[in-house]
Amino acid sequence: MMTTPPGAVLVLGGARSGKSRFAEGLARQSGLDHHYLATGQAYDDEMRDRIARHKHERAGDGWTTHEEPVDLIGCLRSVDDPGRVILVDCLTLWVSNLMMAEADIDAASRALADYLPQAMGRIILVSNEVGLGIVPENAMARAFRDHAGRLHQMAAAKAAEVYFIAAGLPLKMKG
């Protein structure tokens, strides 16, 4: 069993970069009771298949799954415990859900960042880095990119460790 350092972990990367696999490995190595907080919603068949595949991959592997698309902080508070590691996958889906709900995304992002140092257990946040490409052509996509970028900055400032994953390889950026 690995000794788990205190504090939250932020794992960023592009689509299919290996960030979820890396984060799951961190959770397993912690030696803590591992919980998976999924933010995705099944709006179409592709997403339903993706969610089912992820659930199947974690089945029998000691994961307790919680599904919460919008009230991430409320769910974290209800699950948080010193003997647990909570993997949140993923923050960019959460931002999308908040946008669809017309929620105050900046306030929700600040609340999440403010919660991280108070957490009793280990929290691992997974998110897609969306700011490395071209400027999106439509206002909604630009707003999404901007919200995600601000959230990542706030979370990284409060996280004990930050990793960037590319081609399945982690680059430790903080901690």
Half-sphere exposure of 66 (CA within 13 A, CB side): 20
Rounded distance between C-alpha atoms, residue 155 and residue 166, angstroms: 20
Helix, strand, coil shares of the chain as percentages rounded to 5?
A: 45, 25, 35
Q: How many residues does the chain have?
A: 175
Q: Is the peptide bond before 90 cis (omega within 30 degrees of 0)?
A: yes
The answer to whether residues 47 and 40 touch, using CB atoms and an 8 Å cutoff, is yes
Alpha-carbon distance of 61 to 139, in angstroms, equals 41
Query: Which listed residue (34, 35, 54, 152) is catalytic?
Result: 54
152 flagged as catalytic: no
3-state secondary structure of 44: coil
Task: Give a three-class secondary structure readout of 3-20.
Answer: CCCCCCEEEEECCCCCHH
Which residues belong to the active site?
A: 54
